[in-house]
A and B are shown apart, each in its own frame.
Chain A
């Protein structure tokens, strides 16, 4: 049997591979490249930083609420307990990025599964799954996440799951729309005509073609998830046993009038991360979307 991926003609001789083409488009987008650069710097700082600046972020190093620039031991100042803000910024990144990634992964997994099944099978399956999705969609996301974290515990794993569980409906709707559109295209009919089974059509024919908008949405979800974690932390629902930027904001909030740096600096890191992720997401969107290509 012929490989169905040939049916939509992307691999015709002489044509550029779609990934390479997207990358070419992406590179032309200065904003997106800037986002990629920012994110790379953040990832490097987060991964290598702790080895270079080896200070336990929980350790009390100097007098509490020391402003930045006053003391060499804590160049960016200390928080209300006297913990080093710089150590917190460097060590807290991993947890924050991990929560963002994990939550995005959960969002995409649930959203894609629900959306793909609903969009492909239609009928009763679609009705049930979409009512289920709407049920989640009408719940205020932040409130729902707060309830989950309060019910279980405020450990980082629960926070990631909670964020994932409350933010998948838009992804599901997007996936369903893509599947609905693609399932009626000729190459799907062609695949079916040569005897491809449903599973093969979903995995090998529709999914690869539905991916680009989903990748964009997943990228943006990372940013939303990081913001979400910061929001939960601000409400005091962060994990006090793992140093994250969100935890820094949550624990510094009470002293915001006396020590702006304890809240503003981790807030700035979150801002930069979310900005980088959003720029990359937009860049991917432009690169994948043929209608915008020669804009």
Chain B
């Protein structure tokens, strides 16, 4: 009995000791430098006129936005200490913090908010974010009232992360084109960090903003974003401890390698909003692919399980529809198209494509986005032997570079193409564009290049875009996705295996829906 007691005592001591360590570490430490490594290189640092992760990571440190989002998709106060949406959804009132100042000491007013919304509306590639904005009233210096021509529930998300940086009107309002404004390389914002040096292609050095509007934040003294020429050399630098944090790791062999390092944490949290879907797009105007049975057959013939488990080492996730899992608008109930070669064969027979003497039915060409080989090239090459099983001969067409591929796909000169398209938080921003009839625009990549058109889907998406009630909105998106998945203009395959690898010295690693594309004011580093 005695022995047992002492054992439990020891056990308690051990658990106590173990439990004590994280509690100690959870006490944020001030000071220190966070080194972030990235392979995507920004051309400039103004996210108001430029989309993409390269500008967004430094951009969200320099510029503050009216709102920020937590990991459960709930809006939180940021520059706006409070906000209210009118009952009819036609206006949003923002009440700004009184103490907020730009890095040059000038106060932030509602004028700057109105100016920034106009600038983003006029210049940002995501037109749908603020196109319903009619005007922004500024009754006083701390109140901005945004009026919409129709209800626009996506607006709250469009006021977070890198999507609505509040620009200083006294800098950007000088009449110069904001896309080529000299301040884009040395921007004045109001975020937790201010710019020290930006060397394109090499690094962005940021230092603590001592007058940040949130008291006692940020914890870090410096953030250095270093740019690497490829993912392998960056992974090596992380392994050696030269880099504290590597966001957007996509190569699954690197993920596996970094996971083995005892000094690192590797997580797939922080990518819910960016929502990257890897898919096989069909040209629905193609003489064979215009039959939905053929598209369904191909979708049934793809072994999604093999791709995720064998090709991606289990690090990517199944994407079965337009909206990624992890988004409140995800539709889990759609047809999953589990591998079914028999069904694929009978659908093709039904469509009138019988096997000829050589056992083949017809021939299709496949293009792929050059870049992440594991996601695009590998799957294109996998489809060659896989679709042969159902009598489809696949010819892989290589594009030597991005412009070649994008001009083929955007001019609709393709049969099938492997592609990655991002949700960007709200379906209005990143999902509608792929399916609306009036977004079949030749020459525009990532528009409706599939030439898919269903007026019913258009109607549901239009309703969903203006539905203020979140539950009803989600239901509308589920309906639209069920139709889209059934008609299969796209074979949805997987989400990119985005991971963040970071040193165990880092506390409060960014895991909100925007991950590192959000202010890192809570992140700290122990020595």
Contact = CB atoms under 8 A, between A and B. Distances in A.
Nearest to A154: B398
A63 B385 contact: no
21 contacts: A56-B388, A58-B384, A58-B388, A59-B385, A59-B388, A60-B382, A60-B386, A64-B310, A80-B378, A81-B381, A81-B385, A82-B310, A154-B398, A240-B380, A240-B381, A240-B384, A241-B384, A241-B396, A251-B381, A254-B374, A257-B253
Interface in B400-425: 400
Contacts of A198: none
Nearest to B404: A150
B216 interface: no
A137 interface: no
A64 B381 contact: no
A258 B398 contact: no
Interface in A237-252: 237, 240-241, 251
Nearest to B232: A257
Contacts of A240: 380-381, 384, 396, 398
Band of interface residues on B: 10 to 19
B465 to A, nearest CB: 41
A81 B396 contact: no
B311 A64 contact: yes
B400 A81 contact: no
B385 A56 contact: yes
B309 to A, nearest CB: 10
A81 B382 contact: yes
B25 interface: no
A237 B253 contact: no
A241 B395 contact: yes
B373 A254 contact: yes
B162 to A, nearest CB: 31
Contact of B385 (A80, A83, A254, A255): A83
B387 to A, nearest CB: 11
Closest 10 pairs (CB-CB, A-B) = A240-B396, A150-B400, A58-B385, A59-B385, A154-B398, A64-B310, A241-B395, A81-B382, A254-B373, A60-B385
A71 to B, nearest CB: 14
A81 B379 CA distance: 9
Interface string A253-291: 011011000000000000000000000000000000000
A237 B385 contact: no
A49 to B, nearest CB: 20
Given A81-B382, A240-B384, 17 more contacts: A60-B306, A64-B310, A80-B378, A81-B311, A82-B310, A150-B400, A153-B397, A153-B398, A154-B398, A236-B398, A237-B400, A240-B380, A241-B384, A241-B396, A254-B373, A254-B374, A258-B253
B386 A255 contact: no
Contacts of A64: 310-311
Nearest to A62: B310
Contacts of A80: 311, 378
A148 to B, nearest CB: 11
Interface-central residue, B382, B397, B398, by most chain A CB under 10 Å: B398
Interface in B356-370: none
Contacts of B311: 64, 80-81
A240 B388 CA distance: 15
Nearest to B386: A60
Contact of A81 (B378, B388, B395, B398): B378
A150 to B, nearest CB: 4
A60 B379 CA distance: 12
Contacts of A255: 253
Interface string A47-74: 0000000001011100110000000000
A244 to B, nearest CB: 14
Interface string A71-100: 000000000111100000000000000000
Nearest to A61: B385
Interface string A147-189: 0001001100000000000000000000000000000000000
B246 to A, nearest CB: 18
Nearest to A240: B396
A83 B253 CA distance: 19
Nearest to B303: A60
Contacts of A254: 373-374
A22 B382 CA distance: 50
Contacts of A81: 311, 378, 381-382, 385
Contacts of A236: 398
Which of A56, A150, A240 has the largest count of B CB atoms less than 10 A from its CB? A240
A174 B367 CA distance: 43
A255 B373 CA distance: 11
A255 B251 CA distance: 11
A198 B358 CA distance: 53
Contacts of B385: 56, 58-60, 81, 83
Identify which of B381, B386, B395 gathers the most chain A CB atoms within 10 Å of its CB. Answer: B381
A254 B370 CA distance: 14
Contacts of B400: 150, 154, 237
Nearest to A63: B310
A257 B239 CA distance: 16
A236 B396 CA distance: 13
Contacts of A258: 253
Contacts of A257: 253
Contacts of A59: 385, 388
A58 B382 CA distance: 9
B414 to A, nearest CB: 14
Contacts of B378: 80-81
A30 B365 CA distance: 50
A84 B396 CA distance: 19
Nearest to A238: B398
Nearest to A149: B400
